[in-house]
């Protein structure tokens, strides 16, 4: 009966009238009923809000009744859209506001409460005052957190706890979750993606390290990544030492894996700190000490010795003293030598070098085509071809193209000669042992004025920097001596760039003083390099040297020097986020447009990879409001650096800017997409860049072509057909005699980037653990300066990382080990070579190089063939019984569909492609392929961590059996032939079969 009455109520007027009664019982009755009708009659009830509010404020009214009044008012305000008032009354409702109720009202107010609480906590933390938070608000948020934890919604609880800066609740959510390791991994991810303030992120990571260390089996890989972010080399060294001293061989493997993971982030200063803090083996007798000292030597020695030299030294000395030395210490000394070899980067560089050499698949025919189509008079395109060759063979040590074209190469003069020499540094990047001897013919020969050209000498010093980039312990001294002993600005230019690269991020005071003395000579050419070099040296240190550099930039008259310093200052604040705000503010408000331009880079690098909203807002503001085109262009380009951690956002954010009336802004938008979506093959990025590649302005086309190549690197035609279209477009632009020099240069560089590193490298700005790769980001930042200075193009090679899976055993050798790529081989195979002698050229060449005459001939031939086919059809119809005799004729026109069985074998080539592929260690694994990698269950080796690419330590399950090694440990030059053949066999047997099968029939069709 009551229910029927409830449905018949058509107005709340009666209940509202009761609120004016004097008897509290009647008021309570009215409130209780109004609560249930408020969803329906809130417009009517809203007229009586003052009365209900007075009831809530009435001290004599009972506690429960007052809370009921507050809840009613809160709901009315919610329907009126006054969320602030609604929340304050909901807080007054106390326990009657039920956080577990599943209604829009509760959901909306909870979100409002959490936002309010989070912003109050953040403001309090930033202004370092005590938080004055309403305890009732805190109670609601805590109830919500407890509810999430008890319901098992740990990720939700962690999100709220991080946002509200409640680390106590965060810890509770992690420790109470059923999968602590998974929860911690999620939390690390969240702290990188959503915690925008650097200081607070460090607090979260400290908490995570604490929780990790309390676990029964700590995840040392993750702990060390956190500690690296916190910049605590001491703690990392302690963990490594503990693992290395363990009797368990698997702990040593884990230590090596930790070291490789740290090296991947390319934080040179941090790695050196960890290396120096690893304690020497104890209790070895005096003669046995050399293994350690020989290992610490490479840090200061001038010739960068191979990493295996000290290792073999160490083990041989250790074995001679086995009787006297503690075997545990001998084992530790041996493991320590390996770890230091990894941390110095020498092990990974050596293996990468061998991999890139043995798997090199670069297509010299592309370069040959470029070389033939470029006019000799056009020095820009001549240089661009040299750049493209260097990029195409980056790190492979293959300089065949240069050797074959020495006469052509010798036509490079002045700065082109500087660039040509420096290009050898890119080709031989990482050739630490022979770097110096390779460049010897070009290096300054004793004293200031060597015999050679200053341009090739300067280029050679720059090349040494590129070879030793971020691993310059062995070459720094030589470069310093070269810098001191010359007054020629070209050689100073090369030496400064080389020193900056070799000592990247080490903040070495003595080197800084050497470079500063070059800057103060006020020579424009040397000063520009000195400015950039200071930035490279001080990268990410937020050093007070920046203000010194800024002061000099205001004093000097040379634009080149100001530009070099502007970029240098930006590099010093790399990754410092809000710490850099004062300097950024100072630079972006400067009246000199070149310094404002530096301010854009400072914003880009300080907030690189953070996707920070404040930084994006500032950059977008400058992109549309600054008076200088340079600043606007750079502001848009800088978005690429801020957003590379979320590449799918970039095309959306810059899509309108890519249609700007200002060509500089369009160019910036193209490169922003190129930088942030590099190597992803992202469809939206390609769609945005496509119209820009045929823009009306030549430099916009140039930027778009380079950006497109960056996005498409390591993507083949099978996974996106537009890659093939783009390759043909590049060829067309390069061959077109009437194309502008600017866009032709863009096309030539794009061809190089598309096939970079022998088609075995991609551009990666984030490591597998989602940390930014310092060298790569810095490399791209300086590369983007090529607008003003072409030799800086080579910095792009710093951002290349090999697309390789390299599995290593305990001895850091590469054993033969098979694993599965669960996808069609064609999706990830190397691009087909443009043309290979005869077999394929018969088909491919005509399509590539057609002229009108050839078209006519082809049409004529087709007509004749049709007539011939028709005649044969008639003949066949007349004498169908004599099918055998006409077989020959039919085979020439197999398109007739009634071909004899003799013609069937070619048809068989269309057999279905296998859905998987077996890869052999070391294998090329491109980023898109990583999700398809599976490890075989019955395999002899098991990875220490299941990583689909990079350097992975392998646990040997059958150590008693003999091992078969893939990459031998000899230097790359001698290892190559074997490596090459292994690579040949390894590159998907099925893909080879597909390649080889069609070739025999084709010539017969055309020649019969």
Tell me which of 344, 379, 402 is where a domain ends.
Answer: 344
- 841 within some domain: no
What is the pLDDT, as a whole number, of residue 285? 46
Nearest to 442 by CA among 465, 466, 426, 418: 418
Q: What is the DSSP string of 327-357?
A: HHHHHHHHHHHHHHHHHTTHHHHHHHHHHHH
Phi-psi region of 305 (alpha: psi -120 to 50; beta: other; left: phi over 0): beta
In sequence order, which residues have a C-beta less than 8 Å from that of residue 258 and are 6 or more positions away?
Answer: 220, 221, 224, 236, 239, 240, 243
- Residues spanned by the domain of 963: 808-832+912-917+932-1007
Nearest to 775 by CA among 263, 347, 274: 263
Contact 941, 957 (CB under 8 A): yes
Classify 195 as helix, strand or coil. Answer: coil
DSSP state of 475: T
- 189 within some domain: no
How many domains, in total, are found in the chain? 4
Contact 216, 237 (CB under 8 A): no
Segments of the chain with pLDDT less than 50: 1-6, 285-323, 447-450, 836-849, 875-907, 969-1008
Instruction: Assign residue 696 the CATH number of its domain.
Output: 1.25.10.10
Map 513-543 to HEC letters: HHHHHHHCCCCHHHHHHHHHHHHHHCCCCCC
- Whether residues 744 and 820 share a domain: the answer is no
- Whether residues 381 and 336 share a domain: the answer is no
What pTM value is reported for the model? 0.79
Q: Is the peptide bond before 300 cis (omega within 30 degrees of 0)?
A: no
What is the pLDDT, as a whole number, of residue 909? 53
- 737 within some domain: yes
- Both ends of the chain: CA-CA distance in Å? 99
Tell me which of 97, 118, 136 is where a domain ends.
Answer: 97
Percentage with pLDDT > 90 across the chain: 13
- Whether residues 751 and 812 share a domain: the answer is no
In sequence order, which residues have a C-beta less than 8 Å from that of residue 68 and are 6 or more positions away?
Answer: 28, 31, 32, 35, 93, 96
- Whether residues 340 and 391 share a domain: the answer is no
What is the pLDDT, as a whole number, of residue 600? 92
- Whether residues 653 and 794 share a domain: the answer is yes
Question: Would strands 941-943 and 950-956 be described as parallel, antiparallel, or unpaired?
Answer: antiparallel
Q: Is 408 exposed, middle or buried (0-12, 13-18, 19+ CB in 10 A)?
A: middle
- 373 within some domain: yes
What is the pLDDT, as a whole number, of residue 898? 40
What is the pLDDT, as a whole number, of residue 674? 92
Question: Would strands 917-920 and 941-943 be described as parallel, antiparallel, or unpaired?
Answer: unpaired
- 947 within some domain: yes
Question: Would strands 923-924 and 950-956 be described as parallel, antiparallel, or unpaired?
Answer: unpaired
Question: Would strands 804-808 and 950-956 be described as parallel, antiparallel, or unpaired?
Answer: parallel
Q: What are phi and psi of 5, to 5 degrees?
A: -60, -40
- Whether residues 679 and 828 share a domain: the answer is no
Q: What is the DSSP string of 122-144?
A: HHHHHHTPPP---HHHHHHHHHH
726-731 contacts: CB < 8 A, separation 24 or more? Answer: 726/693, 726/754, 727/754, 727/831, 729/693, 730/705, 730/754, 731/369, 731/848
- Whether residues 717 and 796 share a domain: the answer is yes
Nearest to 343 by CA among 252, 289, 276, 250: 276
What is the pLDDT, as a whole number, of residue 171? 84
- Whether residues 259 and 370 share a domain: the answer is no
- Whether residues 970 and 941 share a domain: the answer is yes
- 169 within some domain: no
- 521 within some domain: no
Indicate the helix (H) or strand (E) that contains 801: strand 800-802
Handedness of CA 898, 901, 906, 911 (dihedral sign): positive
Contact 171, 206 (CB under 8 A): no
- Whether residues 321 and 369 share a domain: the answer is no
Question: What's the helix, strand, coil split of the chain in %, to 5?
Answer: 65, 5, 30
Phi-psi region of 627 (alpha: psi -120 to 50; beta: other; left: phi over 0): alpha
Nearest to 487 by CA among 460, 525, 452, 456: 525
- 395 within some domain: yes
- Whether residues 270 and 406 share a domain: the answer is no
Compute the distance between CA of residue 551 and CA of residue 565 in angstroms, rounded to an integer: 10
What is the pLDDT, as a whole number, of residue 329? 82
What is the pLDDT, as a whole number, of residue 159? 84
Tell me which of 97, 127, 151 is where a domain ends.
Answer: 97
pLDDT digits (tens, 9 = 90+) for 766-799: 888 778 888 899 999 999 988 888 889 999 999 9
- Whether residues 762 and 787 share a domain: the answer is yes
């Amino acid at each position: 009966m009551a229910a029927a009455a409830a449905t018949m109520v058509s107005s709340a007027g009666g209940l509202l009238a009761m609120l004016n009664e004097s008897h509290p019982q009647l008021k309570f009755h009215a409130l209780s009923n109004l609560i249930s009708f408020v969803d329906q009659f809130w417009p009517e009830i809203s007229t009586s809000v003052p009365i209900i509010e007075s009831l809530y404020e009435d001290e004599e009214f009972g506690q429960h009744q007052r809370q009921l009044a507050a809840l009613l008012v809160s709901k009315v305000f919610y329907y009126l859209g006054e969320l602030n008032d609604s929340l304050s009354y909901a807080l007054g409702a106390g326990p009657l506001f039920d956080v577990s109720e599943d209604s829009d009202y509760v959901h909306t107010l909870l979100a409002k409460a959490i936002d309010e609480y989070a912003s109050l906590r953040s403001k309090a933390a930033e202004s370092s005052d005590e938080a004055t938070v309403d305890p009732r608000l805190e109670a609601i948020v805590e109830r919500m957190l407890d509810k999430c934890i008890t319901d098992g919604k740990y990720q939700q609880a962690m999100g709220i706890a991080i946002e509200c800066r409640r680390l106590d609740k965060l810890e509770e959510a992690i420790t109470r979750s059923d999968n602590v390791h998974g929860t911690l991994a999620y939390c690390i991810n969240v702290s990188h993606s959503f915690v925008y303030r650097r200081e607070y992120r460090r607090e979260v990571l400290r908490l995570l390290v604490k929780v990790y260390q309390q676990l029964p089996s700590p995840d040392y890989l993750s702990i060390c990544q956190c500690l690296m972010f916190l910049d605590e080399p001491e703690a990392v060294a302690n963990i490594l030492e503990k693992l290395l001293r363990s009797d368990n061989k698997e702990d040593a493997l884990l230590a090596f894996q930790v070291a490789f993971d740290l090296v991947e982030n390319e934080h040179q200063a941090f790695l050196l700190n960890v290396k120096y803090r690893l304690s020497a083996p104890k209790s070895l007798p005096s003669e046995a000490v050399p293994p350690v000292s020989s290992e610490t030597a490479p840090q200061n020695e001038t010739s960068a010795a191979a990493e295996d030299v000290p290792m073999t030294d160490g083990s041989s000395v250790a074995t001679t003293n086995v009787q006297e030395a503690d075997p545990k210490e001998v084992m530790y000394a041996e493991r320590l030598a390996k770890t230091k070899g990894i941390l110095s980067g020498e092990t990974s560089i050596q293996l990468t070098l061998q991999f890139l050499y043995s798997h090199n698949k670069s297509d010299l025919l592309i370069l040959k085509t470029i070389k033939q189509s470029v006019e000799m008079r056009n020095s820009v395109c001549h240089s661009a071809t040299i750049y493209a060759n260097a990029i195409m063979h980056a790190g492979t040590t293959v300089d065949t193209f240069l050797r074959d074209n020495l006469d052509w190469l010798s036509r490079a003069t002045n700065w082109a000669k500087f660039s040509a020499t420096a290009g050898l540094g890119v080709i031989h990047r990482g050739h630490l042992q022979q770097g110096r001897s390779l460049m010897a013919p070009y290096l300054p020969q004793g004293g200031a004025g060597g015999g050679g050209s200053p341009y090739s000498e300067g280029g050679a010093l720059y090349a040494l920097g590129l070879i030793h980039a971020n691993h310059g312990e062995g070459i720094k001294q030589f470069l310093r001596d070269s810098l001191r002993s010359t007054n020629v600005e070209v050689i100073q230019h090369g030496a400064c760039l080389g020193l900056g690269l070799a000592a990247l991020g080490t903040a070495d005071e003595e080197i800084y003083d050497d470079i500063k003395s070059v800057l103060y000579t006020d020579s424009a050419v040397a000063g520009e390099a000195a400015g950039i070099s200071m930035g490279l040296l001080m990268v990410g240190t937020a050093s007070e040297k920046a203000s010194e550099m800024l002061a000099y930039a205001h004093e000097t008259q040379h634009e080149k020097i100001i530009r070099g310093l502007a970029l240098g200052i930006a590099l010093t604040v790399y990754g410092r986020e809000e710490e850099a705000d004062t300097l950024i503010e100072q630079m972006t408000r400067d009246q000199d447009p070149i310094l404002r331009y530096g301010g854009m880079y400072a914003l880009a690098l300080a907030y690189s990879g953070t996707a920070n909203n404040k930084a994006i807002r500032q950059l977008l503001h400058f992109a549309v409001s600054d008076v200088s085109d340079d600043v606007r262009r750079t502001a848009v380009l800088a978005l690429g650096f801020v957003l590379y951690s979320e590449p799918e956002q970039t095309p959306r954010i810059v899509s309108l800017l890519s249609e700007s009336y200002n060509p500089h802004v369009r160019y910036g938008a193209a490169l922003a997409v190129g930088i942030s979506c590099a190597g992803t093959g992202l469809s939206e990025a390609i769609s945005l860049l496509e119209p820009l590649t045929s823009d009306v302005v030549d430099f916009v086309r140039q930027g778009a072509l380079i950006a497109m190549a960056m996005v498409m690197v390591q993507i083949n035609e099978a996974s996106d057909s537009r890659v093939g279209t783009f390759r043909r477009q590049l060829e067309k632009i390069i061959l077109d005699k009437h194309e502008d020099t600017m866009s032709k240069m863009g096309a030539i560089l794009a061809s190089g980037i598309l096939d970079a590193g022998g088609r075995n490298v991609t551009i990666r700005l984030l490591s597998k653990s989602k940390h930014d790769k310092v060298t790569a980001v810095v490399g791209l930042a300086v590369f983007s300066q090529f607008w003003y200075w072409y030799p800086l193009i080579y910095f792009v090679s710093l951002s290349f990382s090999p697309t390789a899976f390299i599995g290593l055993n305990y001895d850091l050798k590469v054993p033969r080990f098979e694993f599965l790529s669960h996808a069609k081989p064609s999706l990830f195979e190397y691009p087909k070579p443009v043309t290979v002698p005869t077999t394929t050229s018969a088909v491919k060449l005509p399509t590539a190089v057609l002229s009108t005459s050839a078209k006519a001939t082809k049409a004529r031939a087709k007509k004749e063939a049709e007539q011939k086919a028709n005649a044969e059809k008639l003949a066949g119809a007349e004498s169908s019984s004599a099918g055998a005799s006409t077989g020959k004729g039919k085979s020439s026109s197999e398109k007739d569909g009634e071909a004899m069985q003799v013609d069937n074998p070619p048809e068989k080539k269309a057999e279905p492609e296998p859905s998987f592929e077996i890869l052999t260690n070391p294998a090329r694994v491109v980023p898109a392929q990583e999700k398809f990698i599976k490890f075989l269950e019955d395999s002899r080796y098991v990875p220490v961590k299941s990583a689909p690419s990079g350097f992975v330590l392998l646990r040997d399950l059958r150590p008693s059996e003999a091992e078969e090694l893939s990459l031998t440990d000899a230097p790359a030059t001698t290892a190559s032939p074997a490596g090459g053949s292994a690579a040949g066999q390894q590159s998907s047997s099925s893909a080879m079969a597909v390649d080889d099968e069609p070739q025999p029939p084709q010539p017969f069709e055309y020649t019969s």
